[in-house]
């Protein structure tokens, strides 16, 4: 990577964003604030994820550019208020990464990726200003994360202080326990209780996935994509049989669904 080319590219992007915000720039961009931009930041991040999952380098490149622009735009807003600029952002993340990797940039040694993760949490805890309890690490998990990802991060951080199941068998027992509790509530008519038990079951499933070194957020994204693909295939299957999806019976749809499911095994 050429440093000159990189410097020029970053400078051009910053200047472009500055012009959009300037007196002779774009009226829409001139009205934007942190609050209005944050939704675009989130959307662009998800579009990057979609491009990665599609396995398209060209799309990943384009979507990363869109995400980078939102980051630059937020930095410019902060700079206008005299808070910080891009240099400070880059310097701080560089300093943090060096500090969080003492086994690379210092004299520490690690034996496994798990030990790296444990050291990361210890260093992060030590960086907190003032007296902090282990629960503060949980409070730092962003509220606006997707629910499954947030559940994963909360339980993951709790495990760092020893609050966790011993192994996969124990968490599987917990999943079955939560399932039975949900099953018991279904005999009544208490919607709130049913909802609470479904939530508990989902949380225990997140933990089970974590013990298998899986992430439930990604698992559900994959399952949703698989459902969409099979639904589209079901529509085509019905069409080949001369049945329009909007007029298909439940039996016809279920039969087509099972045909596709068996075919894909």
**pLDDT for 216-237, tens place per residue?**
998 998 899 899 999 999 999 8
Report residue 16: phi and psi, to 5°.
-60, -45
Euclidean distance between CA atoms 81 and 69, whole angstroms? 19
Contact criterion met (CB below 8 Å) for 264 and 232: no
pLDDT digits (tens, 9 = 90+) for 89-118: 999 999 999 999 999 999 888 888 888 888
Answer whether residue 132 shows pLDDT above 70. no
Which two structure tokens, joined as six digits, stand for 188? 């009544």
Arithmetic mean of pLDDT, 190-205: 96
Which two structure tokens, joined as six digits, stand for 78? 């902060």
Which two structure tokens, joined as six digits, stand for 192? 């709130």
Rounded to the nearest integer, the mean pLDDT of the chain is 90
Euclidean distance between CA atoms 77 and 82, whole angstroms? 9
CB under 8 A, 24+ apart: contacts of 196-203: 201/175, 202/148, 202/151, 203/151, 203/155
SS3 162: coil
pLDDT digits (tens, 9 = 90+) for 60-92: 999 999 999 999 999 999 999 999 999 999 999
Euclidean distance between CA atoms 21 and 37, whole angstroms? 13
Which two structure tokens, joined as six digits, stand for 19? 């012009």
What pTM value is reported for the model?
Answer: 0.68
Burial of residue 130 (CB within 10 Å: 0-12, 13-18, 19+) is exposed
Q: What pLDDT is stored for residue 130 in this prediction?
A: 57
Q: What pLDDT is stored for residue 224 in this prediction?
A: 92
Answer whether residue 141 shows pLDDT above 90. no
Q: What pLDDT is stored for residue 135 in this prediction?
A: 66
Q: What pLDDT is stored for residue 86 in this prediction?
A: 94
């Amino acid at each position: 990577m050429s440093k000159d080319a990189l410097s020029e590219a970053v400078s051009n992007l910053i200047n472009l964003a500055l012009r959009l915000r300037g007196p002779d720039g774009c009226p829409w961009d001139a009205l934007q604030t942190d609050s209005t931009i944050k939704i675009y930041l989130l959307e662009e991040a998800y579009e990057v994820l979609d491009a990665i999952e599609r396995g398209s380098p060209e799309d990943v490149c384009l979507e990363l550019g869109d995400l980078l622009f939102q980051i630059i735009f937020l930095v410019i807003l902060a700079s206008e208020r005299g808070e910080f600029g891009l240099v400070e952002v880059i310097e701080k993340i560089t300093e943090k990464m060096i500090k969080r990797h003492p086994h690379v940039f210092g004299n520490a040694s690690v034996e496994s990726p798990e030990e790296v993760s444990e050291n990361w949490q210890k260093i992060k805890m030590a960086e907190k200003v003032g007296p902090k309890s282990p629960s503060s690490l949980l409070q730092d998990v962003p509220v606006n994360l997707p629910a499954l990802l947030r559940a994963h991060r909360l339980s993951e951080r709790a495990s760092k202080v020893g609050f966790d199941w011993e192994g996969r068998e124990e968490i599987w027992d917990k999943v079955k326990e939560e399932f039975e509790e949900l099953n018991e509530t279904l005999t009544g008519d208490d919607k709130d209780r049913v909802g609470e038990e479904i939530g508990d079951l989902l949380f225990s499933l997140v933990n089970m996935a974590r013990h298998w070194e899986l992430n439930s957020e990604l698992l559900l994204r994959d399952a949703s994509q698989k459902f969409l693909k099979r639904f589209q295939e079901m529509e085509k299957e019905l069409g080949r049989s001369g049945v329009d999806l909007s007029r298909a019976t439940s039996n016809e749809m279920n039969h087509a669904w099972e045909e596709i499911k068996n075919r894909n095994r």
